[in-house]
Amino acid sequence: MTTAVLAPCLQDSVNRYARALIVPSRLLALHPRKAGGAGNAAALAPAIVLGVISAFEGFVEDFSATAFHLQGRSFGQIVKKVNFSNPDVEQFEALVKKEFPILAPMIGDDFSVDVWDPPEVGTRLWEPARVGWPQARHTAGGWMQVRHCLAHGLASGWQSEVWPGPVKANATPASAVLKPMKDGKHSLVLHGAITCARVYRAAAEHLGRLIAAQVGETTSWSKLPDFPMYKTSLEEYLAANPPRGNEDNPGVLTSE
């Protein structure tokens, strides 16, 4: 549902989103990001995922409601249109296409985001990848399933576990975005949480910019945390953590 107080402009809605991402970004900064067992720091990954997706859900509701308000729509109309239940990227895209059909051909244009690809079973290597809109939307759906499992106690995110499949047909399963382990189990680690944060943040900005331009507003997204792939710059990271067994691909990192 919409927030009780509408943002007076879309920039205020963006600023609220940035504020909601402060804690997840600071949780990321707390992680040691060192090879080997993460210990209690392993709890940071599921906490980041929950915080990031919660912030996105609030942003979609707030930003959409504000955009509709700026178009002169009544509060009754706004409530009917912004009637989400845990909106993910696909649902936000569907709303944009329905309410702003002129924007449909522009969705995904010039969009890309750097993420981590999960390793194969029996390996620890996470490879950096740059994905476009269709893959980002697919990945976001998987992370929404992770959020559901965590929120409903179907998985803890603390260790290697079996993650139940989605109820809805054709939904991306949580296992598709997690680190595969033995015996059909999967693990939620920091690399995955970073990917989740980067995908949702990038998708929010992409669709948000399109809507803002359509209603005649300019927005700045510079206050949003970046959720960096590396603790320091890639060069500094490699100097402190020489690649092991994969010298031909220095961007490949091992999981926690």
pLDDT at 242: 55
Distance (Å, whole) CA 162 – CA 248: 34
Question: Per the confidence metrics, is the pTM higher than 0.85?
Answer: yes
Distance (Å, whole) CA 106 – CA 104: 5
Instruction: Go through the chain and tell me how many residues it has.
Output: 256
pLDDT at 80: 85
How much of the chain is in helix, strand and coil states, percent to nearest 5? 50, 5, 40
Q: Are strands 179-180 and 186-187 parallel, antiparallel or unpaired?
A: antiparallel
pLDDT at 119: 85
> Residue 92 is encoded by which pair of tokens?
């936000």
DSSP string computed for 151-165: HTTS--SSSSBPPPP
Distance (Å, whole) CA 20 – CA 14: 10
pLDDT at 5: 63
Distance (Å, whole) CA 93 – CA 75: 22
Q: Where are the domains of the chain?
A: 10-231
pLDDT at 35: 61
* Strand extents, DSSP E, the chain: 113-117, 125-131, 179-180, 186-187, 253-254
Q: Per-residue pLDDT for the chain (256 aa), expressed as one digit of tens each?
A: 444 466 689 999 999 999 999 999 999 888 776 665 667 778 899 999 999 999 999 999 999 999 999 988 888 888 888 888 889 999 999 999 999 999 999 999 999 999 999 888 777 788 899 999 999 999 999 999 999 999 999 999 988 999 999 888 888 999 999 999 988 899 999 999 999 999 999 999 999 999 999 999 999 999 999 999 987 544 444 555 555 444 344 344 445 5
Distance (Å, whole) CA 125 – CA 173: 21
pLDDT at 112: 97
> Residue 18 is encoded by which pair of tokens?
């940035």
